[in-house]
Chain A
Amino acid sequence: MSSQAPVVKRRIGDLVFSNLAIGSGVAILVILAAVAIFLFAESVPAFLSEQDAAPDGFFAYVAPFLFGTVLASIIALLIATPLAIGIALYISHFAPRRLSQALGYSIDLLAAIPSVVYGLWGMLVLAPFLNPSYLWLNENFGWIPFFEGPVSATGRTMMTVGIVLAIMILPIMAALIREIFLQTPRLHEEAALALGATRWEVIKMAVLPFGKAGIISSAMLGLGRALGETMAVALVLSGSGVITFALLTSTNPNTIAANIALQFPESSGTYTSLLIATGLVLFAITMAINMLARWVISRRSEFSGAN
């Protein structure tokens, strides 16, 4: 009698299903690769063709838009980060326990509003509302290069764009930071309370040090969002290809995404390729920032004492 190893029955259903699942997983990687490959392939003609869409070369064309993109995103980030930390703290530590979920939901609603609606609102409501304060800033702080005149008459300025973008990235940042604050080891907080710390001292000693890496990576994810935001910028800003730090005037650098949205419908030939090439630049930058942010988060969660 020969000893037989138990024969594992390969069920056909299992085989098909697991391969489908693996295939879907691989499909994600393929889609991302395809985005990069197709964008690259379609942007090549912009560099090769004889009749140049950008007479001074590609980088001279994209530089002002890149500058505008980064400037708008940094303004947005400077406004949104402290606010997002405040909101996250309010929901996780200050709001009445029973209300906190509903309050979090109301902030999430901000994320659900389509960007084109933000654009309309920013242009027709927020810009006229903010303009008097721009005049005031220019009168009193005009010596700071950022607040140089002449102030725009409509309020449709870089500053307004920054504020609209800040409102748009606020919910995602607040949600991420809130999650991180809620992971603070309960024992740390209770130990601080037992020593007689006030609520602010608990936050200062236990919550903020624990959440520091998380706050940084949330800010980077928010930055990624702001860099790629299109319609709100396209509607609010009447941008052009200039490089200027003055935030309150009516001549503003456009952003890459808004420039594509505005120019693409009427473009053809190598100009289309040129726009796709600027899109590739945007894709590369947002990918790099997102990957860095996700890497920081994943490294953080491995060492986190929360679990």
Chain B
Amino acid sequence: MTTASVTQNFQGSRSLPKWLAPTLLAVAILASFSINSALASSNPEATQLNLFAVALVAVITYSIGFYLASRIIEGQRKSADRLVTILVTGAFALAVVPLISLAWTVVERGAARFDIDFFTFSMRNVVGAGGGAYHAIIGTLEITGLATLISVPIGIMTAIYLVEYGRGALARAVTFFVDVMTGIPSIVAGLFAYAAFVVIFGPGVRMGVGGAIALSVLMIPVVIRATEEMLKIVPNELREASYALGVPKWLTVTKVVLPTALAGIATGVMIAIARIIGETAPLLIIAGFTASTNFNPFDERMMTLPVFVYTSYANQGSDAQTYIDRAWTGALVLMLIVMILNIIARLVSKYFSPKG
């Protein structure tokens, strides 16, 4: 038996040469480039090369080539492993593409109207250019603030119930339905707030506070889940030490357990706010839309930023481009708020959570 056949028998003992991957990549890019330019020259409608198509064909060619090379040199098992690695990495890369495209589009198109006027003017008496989202920003702050005021106490107390008190059937039911509640469609929350307000105020009601209630339905389960996780990781020794000193249970919870978990709870609340601040559908239904600033959430229609983005696009007036520009800038501001909330939340949990 020759040495060559011996190494053949031990599958996987021979591995791919180091130069193979870069060479294959270069060949794949070159091949994709020439194929695409050949296609483009044969098609009179295509005026320029589609770079995305070039990249796509190159990646596919490279993956197939790499797999075949591994199959021939390393055997079936190793090559299957390599194929899966490529597929899994590809799935991840594919998911990042829309993220980058979205961020780029919103920044590029939103920059046009990202000026002082956008933050200081409402749309009252504005036709065409100018105007801003001052009224929408005020509405978003008030409605989100109210929703937070409603959700945080209920959310935290429910989490305390589940972690510190909950036993038996009621606790199991609450846990289950909190999970189910996270799946309520946002538009159903809006319809609920409308249906509840109609009973009190009559049909056709529009009110900022209704939006706050609809958002609370969506926010409460998020707050509960986040708080519950945080309370669960508070060490039991702390509770027991407190009981041993004769401290009553409610003081143990409020003075020992909650302060320990505070940073985590704050993080959870902020992520919950980031989650609901972009909700459009419930606010479209119960808070409505208007061109004027309204400071009173208990009276009449109230504009909010997500609804501003939607209506700017959906109800374009004359000089449509100015409306589309405002929609994109609104989207940019909304995304900036969400990102900033997320970043603050991460920083809080990084620097203020108890160590060890």
Contacts and interface: CB of A to CB of B under 8 A. Distances in A.
Interface stretch (A81-89, A140-148, A184-192, A240-248): A81-89
Q: Which of B160, B187, B217 has the most CB of A within 10 A?
A: B187
Nearest to A231: B280
Nearest to B170: A25
Contact of B187 (A25, A34, A279): A279
A305 interface: no
A235 interface: yes
Name the 5 nearest CB pairs between A and B, nearest first: A228-B185, A114-B278, A86-B91, A17-B250, A24-B157
A282 interface: yes
Question: Interface majority SS on A: helix, strand, loop or mixed?
Answer: helix
Contacts of B106: 117, 121
A230 B280 contact: yes
Contact of B186 (A11, A228, A290): A228
A35 B157 contact: no
Given A25-B174, A114-B279, A228 B253 contact: no
A261 B281 contact: yes
Contacts of B92: 86-87, 90-91, 95, 103, 107
Contact of B177 (A22, A28, A109, A231): A28
B338 to A, nearest CB: 5
Interface in B36-88: 77-78, 80-81, 83-85, 87-88
B187 A257 contact: yes
A226 B317 CA distance: 32
B165 interface: yes
A114 B95 contact: no
Contact of A112 (B164, B281, B339): B339
B195 interface: yes
Interface residues of A, number: 91
Interface string A8-47: 0001011011101111111111011011001101100000
Interface stretch (B21-29, B116-124, B282-290): B282-290
Interface of A: 11, 13-14, 16-18, 20-29, 31-32, 34-35, 38-39, 41-42, 82-83, 85-87, 89-91, 94-95, 103, 105-107, 109-110, 112-121, 124-126, 167, 170, 174, 198-201, 203, 221, 224-225, 227-231, 234-235, 257, 260-261, 264-265, 268-269, 272, 275-276, 279, 282-283, 286-287, 289-291, 294, 298
B232 interface: no
Contacts of A11: 248, 250
A257 B102 contact: no
Contact of B331 (A26, A91, A117): A117
Contact of A94 (B89, B105, B310): B89
B262 interface: no
Interface string B180-208: 11111111110110111011000110000
A260 B187 contact: yes
Contacts of A203: 84
A106 B199 CA distance: 44
B95 A38 contact: no
Given A82-B91, A228-B184, 5 more contacts: A18-B249, A109-B339, A115-B280, A228-B187, A261-B187
Nearest to B77: A198
